[in-house]
Amino acid sequence: MIMKKTALLLSIIAIIFTACTKENVSDTPYSDSISGVKIRYVVNVVDGSANAGKSSTELQNAIVCVVVNDSVYETQVDNNGLAVFNNLFAGNASVHVKCEGYTSANLIVDLKAMPDTTNIYDASNRRIVTSIVNIFPTKGESLANVSGKIYADLDLTDGDLETVSENLNIRAIVNAEDLYKFVDHDCSGGIIDLSYEGFLFSTANSSGNYSLILPAAAIGLDYLISADDFEFYQQITPTTTERKVFRFEPDTITVQTNGNYIHDLYYEF
């Protein structure tokens, strides 16, 4: 009986030893996917108002939140403006950056290590991924001032445009199509999509004047400007009027740090 038990134990040990030998371990490396590769992700938050294309002032009180594989991670940047996240799964991640007195940014980031074209080491062992995120001050001397008048052809009989006296809301939002200046799609940690939260508002007064105070960048920050529609009884002839809806076709303006701009708005019907 003892002999049978000993033989069985030796058989089990032999099976375990055989399963753990090199010949039975797959040589196929992990792929950069959710299957198992882990990433050390570093977010560098910088002050975009000082961005001249190379360096920026780091922010030390920004909060960075990363959502990847149904998990949420949040931390404050260190004294160098860096937020570090360890052991994240490779793949796409949602990133939110916020800081008191600055615009908030939302990003979709590609968390994968890029291949090493120099062949110095195996890219499958490369685990550090970095993104640089520009945010812009919402107060202080770096802001740009945009102002102007609002015009529409309210009277067809005089051959000229009139000042619009309606109390209209004027809105400005960072133009997403221009954000390529702050996005690098080619490096590891490449930003796939980027947007900044919130509209900036102004209300035109009864004289048709408006003014917007906008976050700006040294290399220029593009804004899309839009405005409310309004109804008005347009003068068609000296004795007749017709109710029309006037619409403003959104347009863009580029503002630089501490700039002042005149930008009149023209309505169509």
Structural domains in the chain plus CATH codes: 30-135 (2.60.40.10), 144-179+199-266 (2.60.40.1120)
Residue type, 123: A
For residue 96, pLDDT over 70 is answered with yes
pLDDT grade, residue 56 (50/70/90)?
low
- The pLDDT of residue 250: 94
In tens, the pLDDT along 188-213 reads 678 888 888 877 889 999 899 999 99
pLDDT grade, residue 75 (50/70/90)?
very high
Most confident of 51-55, 108-112, 182-186, 211-215: 211-215
The percent of residues above 90 in pLDDT, for the chain, comes to 49
What is the CB neighbour count within 10 angstroms for residue 205?
A: 13
pLDDT grade, residue 184 (50/70/90)?
low
State the burial class of residue 166 (Cβ atoms within 10 Å of its Cβ: 0-12, 13-18, 19+).
middle
User: Can you count the helices (H) and strands (E) in the chain?
Assistant: 1, 20
- The pLDDT of residue 16: 32
In tens, the pLDDT along 9-52 reads 344 334 333 333 333 333 333 344 444 567 889 999 988 887 55
Largest CA distance in the chain: 120
Between 200 and 180, the higher pLDDT residue: 200
- The pLDDT of residue 94: 95
Between 127 and 160, the higher pLDDT residue: 160
Q: Which residues touch 181 (CB under 8 Å, ≥6 apart)?
A: 53, 219, 220
